[in-house]
Amino acid sequence: MLSLLGVSKAFAGVQALRDVSIDLFAGETHALVGENGAGKSTLIKILAGVHQPDSGELLIGGEPVFLSGPADASKRGVAVIYQEPTLFPDLSVAENVFIARQPLKSGRRIDHRSMNRAVAQVFSRLGVRLDPERISRGLSIAEQQLVEIAKALTRDARVLIMDEPTAALSAVEVQRLFRVVEALRAEGAAVVFVSHRLEEVFEICQRVTVLRDGARMLNAPLAGMTTTDLVRAMVGRDVLVEAREQHAPGGTVLEVEHLTREGVFYDVSFEVRAGEVVALAGLVGSGRTEVARAIFGVDRYDVGAVTINGRALRRGSPTAAMEAGVALVPEDRRQQGLVMELSIARNIALASLNALRRTGVIRARSERRFGTEWADRLQVRYSRVSAPVSTLSGGNQQKVVLAKWLARRPALLIVDEPTRGIDVGTKTEVHRLISELAESGVAVLAISSELPEVLTVADRVLVMREGRLAATLMREQATEEAIIAAGMTVVAGATPAGGEARP
């Protein structure tokens, strides 16, 4: 249905793609994998008409075509669901789905009833409950992703490109999405599936293309291949994932007591000690992120108290939290963690402006030196620190957010989905950073939907269900099965939020 033949693309002297060829067939789900910065996003944007190749050809239905822009690609049946949702926050869900192509009635008035009905039918097909008339501001990442999927499905796309579509979805939502992908494949669509979750690649895809440093390293059917084969092709070496060594924790850094926000979370109590990594697990919507935001002061809470190193933290004040040594790496790095138009150096410096100020002035040279130092410490891949942070891959953007907060040398680091949308190699680096921070005495509260990640980094696992702490699992108790069970029912032998183990 679509082919790229010998495509190359460079940006400001950086070669993003080198002589890449790929064929997409009707009725096939084709995996596109590789480390962050391998060229996946550039390839997707060429397919979407955002970028034009420097050399090579794009064929649709066997005919050479030139895509002048995304609208041109859409007219030819190519739709892209990007990793980072791009919604208009003040428009409704249905208005976002039909933006620039709203159905009209007499007098060229928008037919909202028809639009809402069409979107409701798509959501019914996806098996999700989301009100088409709801304003998009405040939607979770998972809900935003579903709106993007609905956009593509309402365009009757024949080539559907999904860039990390499951990164923020729960296991139930992922399976619903996979059923939709299978239905599209059965109808003859060609699907490109970009994911760093290799188990999903093997579950849903029939063929795989691996990119490394802009070049195609592998193109083959998945039948008979192993995860080790893919990882070796992606990074050029074997990646060993090992659980961090356990060390005796120090004194209590964070103490949360009976934290409650009506309708969101209830009677949440726990502590995190120096040198300890505590993971908050549970299904999407269980209240994990909301508790973290309340601790940091972004969101309010009605009842309870938060204590840092024995001192009560003023509620509803991120400034007070920062002064007390708390850092928050948010789930949505683009909307909440970075200012995408600003430079890499300035983003790293944003949380440390007081330390950089001299006689009331922050000098550009000091900012660049500070940004370079921390970017290099976290091994950020960049061309120059003065470049906008939007030019970086997702994994390197995540490292910039981490650098911004680590530069403040926090006592407590809260990381929400620390490896969402980043590759297996970069995941290993982030896990190493978290372990090193804990070993240096930092208390870490990590929120993750990826159970292998939880088991890799955590000393203790707190499982939330419907806004409440359902269980506390010590490291020796924590298994994927135990965490999943605790997120849906009370785990036998685990310690519930109240204290004693329940049968």
DSSP string, 413-425: EEEESTTTT--HH
- Give the SS3 label for residue 342: coil
Q: What is the DSSP string of 47-111?
A: HTTSS--SEEEEEETTEEE---SHHHHHHTTEEEE-SS----TTSBHHHHHTTT---EEGGGEE-
DSSP state of 310: T
**Band of residue 142 on the pLDDT scale cut at 50, 70, 90:** confident
Q: What pLDDT is stored for residue 56 in this prediction? A: 95
In the chain, % helix, strand, coil (3-state, to 5) comes to: 35, 25, 40
Is residue 438 within 8 Å of residue 431, measured between CB atoms? no
Strand partners, 10: 15
What's the CA gap between 288 and 282, in Å, rounded? Answer: 7
Mean of pLDDT values over 441-455: 88
For residues 405 and 377, what is the distance between their CA atoms, to the nearest angstrom?
13
Instruction: Please tell me the distance from the alpha carbon of residue 174 to that of residue 440, in angstroms, as a whole number.
Output: 37
Q: Are strands 190-194 and 28-33 parallel, antiparallel or unpaired?
A: parallel
Most confident listed range (245-259, 314-328, 462-476) = 314-328
Residue 491 is predicted with a pLDDT of 36
Counting other chains too, the contacts that 350-357 makes at CB distance below 8 Å and 24 or more residues apart are: 350/404, 351/322, 351/327, 351/404, 351/405, 351/407, 351/408, 352/404, 352/407, 352/408
Q: Please tell me the predicted confidence (pLDDT) of residue 26.
A: 95
Query: Cα(202)–Cα(398) distance, rounded to whole angstroms?
Result: 26
Report DSSP state, residue 138. Answer: T
Q: Which residue has the tokens 């997409």?
A: 24
Give the C-alpha separation, 307 to 300, whole Å.
15
Distance CA(70)–CA(74), nearest Å, equals 6
Instruction: Return the pLDDT at 41.
Output: 86
**Looking at the predicted structure, is the pLDDT value of residue 501 above 60?**
no
Q: Is 107 exposed, middle or buried (0-12, 13-18, 19+ CB in 10 A)?
A: exposed
- For residue 234 the two structure tokens come to 């992606």
Percent of the chain with pLDDT over 90: 53
d(C-alpha 445, C-alpha 458), whole Å? 9
* Among the listed residues 44, 33, 38, the one whose alpha carbon sits nearest the alpha carbon of residue 222: 33
pLDDT per residue as tens digits for the range 229-282: 887 887 675 444 555 666 788 899 999 999 999 989 999 999 999 999 999 988
Domains of the chain: 2-87+139-235 (3.40.50.300), 241-325+410-503 (3.40.50.300), 338-408 (no CATH)
Least confident of 132-136, 364-368, 493-497: 493-497
- Under DSSP, the state recorded for 136 is S
The dihedral over CA atoms of 280, 328, 235, 449, expressed in degrees to the nearest 10, equals 20
Instruction: Please give the average per-residue pLDDT across 164-174, as a whole number.
Output: 74
Lowest mean pLDDT among 169-183, 192-206, 256-270, 308-322: 169-183
Is residue 159 helix, strand or coil? strand
Q: What is the pLDDT of residue 495?
A: 43
- What contacts 24+ positions apart, CB below 8 Å, involve 114-118? 118/94, 118/154
Confidence of residue 168 (pLDDT cuts 50, 70, 90): low
Higher pLDDT, 450 or 70: 70
Rounded to an integer, the average pLDDT of 355-378 is 90
Per-residue pLDDT at 55 exceeds 90: yes
Does residue 13 carry a pLDDT above 80? no
Q: Mean pLDDT over all residues of the chain? A: 87
pLDDT for the residue 493: 40
- Residue 36: which pLDDT band, with cuts at 50, 70 and 90? low
> By the 8 A CB rule, do 10 and 367 touch?
no
User: Of 62, 42, 64, 63, whose CA–CA distance to 54 is shortest?
Assistant: 42
**Predicted confidence (pLDDT) at residue 503 exceeds the cutoff of 50:** no
pLDDT number for residue 265: 93
Local structure of residue 135 (DSSP, 8 states): B
Residue 438 pLDDT > 60: yes
Select from 229, 208, 234, 235 the least CA-distant residue to 32. Answer: 208
| pLDDT, tens only, 413-424 | 999 988 876 666
Average the pLDDT over 67-87 and give the result: 87
